[in-house]
Structure 1
């Protein structure tokens, strides 16, 4: 039986068409994602009402905890704001892309959190499959819950679509590329609707959907023959990206 991981990674090359053009992508190793994670706020810190709750959803293959793509920035945000707490979204993050429990986790945290802490604001982070979790959760929030979401940051979003105001490149500039994300391409090829968030949220300034130049998960490139491009693994290592995320979140506090 073929494992979900192999099926997922093979999709990157399976969708590609044969072409003679060269790509600027460099191949990465998904084993990097298996580095053990930490939780940045203790269970005791999560019990009281906080001014801000940072919810992050990790990507495929990352162990439970804060994603490597957000760990440094979330730690920095917590260090600059004593009213903030961090909580990692609990879900499998397996290569079968089953996000059901993660979506429920996010929607429940916000919905029931508002009952106990009506003034609490929420900041959502999603990397790769975690971006899918975040978008599906956003689509399931009621009006009160949506109003409590102050910021959304996604990196390596496989459903990224061009032409959105919330699209940014690695330097914090609006991204005018016309490429679709990997799963958005798959949806187009099968005549399915593309998972996304509504135009009102896109115009709100709350969302930053960041995609590195050679990340074939969020900007599919049929010329790249890598199963996984190194750019998809690099968000947590690039200071301009981390500064961009930090500045976006701080501006929404």
Structure 2
């Protein structure tokens, strides 16, 4: 969720920084990015565009992009999405349809819920993985309020949730990790904690992973270093360490749900 004031803070130096990082990051359009194990990235030939989209799938990865990102996949979630599709058969990906302008998270949540509700009716055995970056994390959190009854079909159908750069991250939750899976950012709240909905309590569980990069102003809140680096750390989630974390979590939870 990068608002107008924040965009003004992100200078031309960001592009230079991201170019420098490109050799250690996963491509935004990652055609075939697979992570064979944590900390190791390997490219393999998977033609995702040629993959058929059946009426009912084993699972659907619903990915919700951040503010001002164009409709389509976001680099912050693409690697973990492609890994999942390439390693657990029967899945399809869906990119949440919403404007992704300032404060449009409710529209994103509405589309997520529509996709799940349609699936619960038409494909009751289908499972879901919800991914959200920045404002997309807020949209995902709002959608989850529709599925807080652990005995409901909707709750049981959602196998895994991964959010990165969550503006309303809550401190000291079981789901919190930093960019390498540690606890550095566990004790901090997101900068919009009092302005946008947080993830429902019931979803802070083994199903959910909430990844916050150290000193990312958006999810780690205001401190000296987050102010100094402006919004730079909020743009780093496409790196392999984060994509590995997300992918490992998704795979583990999907295997449980599909067993």
Deviations 1:230-250 (A, max 9, x none): 21111102x221111111001
**Residue 157 of structure 1: how far off its partner (Å):** 0.2
> Structure 1 residues 79 and 157, CA, compared in 2 at 3 Å: closer, same or farther?
same
**Residue 87 of structure 1: how far off its partner (Å):** 0.7
Q: Does the 8 A contact of 2:131 with 2:162 survive in 1?
A: yes
**Residue 5 of structure 1: how far off its partner (Å):** 4.4
Separation in 2, partners of 1:218, 1:120: 31
Q: Return the match for 1:141 from 142, 147, 160.
A: 147
Which moved further from structure 2: 239-248 or 154-163?
239-248
Q: How does 1:10-29 map to 2 (within 5 A)?
A: 28=14
Q: Return the match for 2:191 from 173, 182, 193.
A: 182
Q: Does the 8 A contact of 1:28 with 1:228 survive in 2?
A: no
Moved over 6 A (4+): 35-40
> Structure 1 residues 232 and 57, CA, compared in 2 at 3 Å: closer, same or farther?
same
Deviations 1:164-186 (A, max 9, x none): 111011121345643211111xx
Aligned match of 2:4: 6
> Structure 1 residues 70 and 91, CA, compared in 2 at 3 Å: closer, same or farther?
same
Q: How does 1:14-163 map to 2 (within 5 A)?
A: 28=14, 45-94=52-101, 96-141=102-147, 143-163=152-172
Deviations 1:101-121 (A, max 9, x none): 211111111111111111100
**Residue 197 of structure 1: how far off its partner (Å):** 2.5
Q: CA RMSD in A?
A: 3.0
Separation in 2, partners of 1:182, 1:225: 12
Separation in 1, partners of 2:70, 2:185: 33
Is the partner of 1:183 in helix, strand or coil? coil
Aligned match of 1:241: 242
Aligned match of 2:252: 251
Separation in 2, partners of 1:216, 1:100: 22
Separation in 1, partners of 2:209, 2:141: 12
Aligned match of 2:213: 212
> Structure 1 residues 45 and 38, CA, compared in 2 at 3 Å: closer, same or farther?
farther
Deviations 1:39-69 (A, max 9, x none): 9965983342110100000001111111111
TM, length-normalised to structure 1: 0.78
1:195 correspondence with 2:201: no
> Structure 1 residues 176 and 211, CA, compared in 2 at 3 Å: closer, same or farther?
closer
Which moved further from structure 2: 148-157 or 224-233?
224-233
Deviations 1:114-143 (A, max 9, x none): 111111000000000000000000012373
> Structure 1 residues 175 and 119, CA, compared in 2 at 3 Å: closer, same or farther?
farther
Aligned match of 2:22: none
Could you say which structure has the greater relative contact order, defined with CA pairs below 8 angstroms and 6 or more residues apart? 1
The count of aligned residue pairs is 224
Separation in 1, partners of 2:223, 2:185: 19
